[in-house]
Amino acid sequence: MRKITKRAGVIIGVAALGISGGVAWAVWSITGTATATATAATAQTITVTGEAYNLVPGGAKDLLVKSNNPNDFPVQITSWGSPTIVSDKANCAGSNVSFTPPTNPVILQKGYHEQTVVNGAQMALSTPDACQGATFTLTTTVSGLSTQP
């Protein structure tokens, strides 16, 4: 077996450096771009209805509030607008009846919900006989915000 001299060791070392240097020059720098898209949902209108039966002058009845939230996220009711109340009977003003909305905050998960407001529908003591058998319709706006599940 041959003994490697200093001179041969230096030549081998320089040759190895030359080979590794050539490999380093063969590495390329590459850049690129990436894109992604997402589509936001469109908020849908919530619906709220209420029912109260057999009101009498000076009395109050429970108001059953039914709501539907078709959105894929909960909605917190933040305010109830000033209602317009009308009667289906002549000589019977809608102002003979008043409604009390549910207490805020009401959070509606997706789907149908029912909530009872104790004594939520009231009839004025001075309500005239013309209001017997009348149906009162309340129209109002309900405002809300999306909230975390």
Q: Specify the pLDDT at position 89.
A: 95
Q: Specify the pLDDT at position 81.
A: 86
pLDDT at 41 over 80: yes
Class of domain 47-146: mainly beta
Q: What are the extents of the domains in the chain? A: 47-146
Q: What percent of the chain has pLDDT over 70?
A: 82
- The chain-wide mean pLDDT, for the chain, equals 84
Cα separation, 86 vs 60, in Å, equals 18
State the pLDDT confidence band at 102, using cuts at 50, 70 and 90. confident
Peptide bond just before 105 cis, omega within 30 deg: yes
Mean pLDDT of 122-141: 94
Q: Give Cα 42 to chain centroid, integer Å.
A: 10
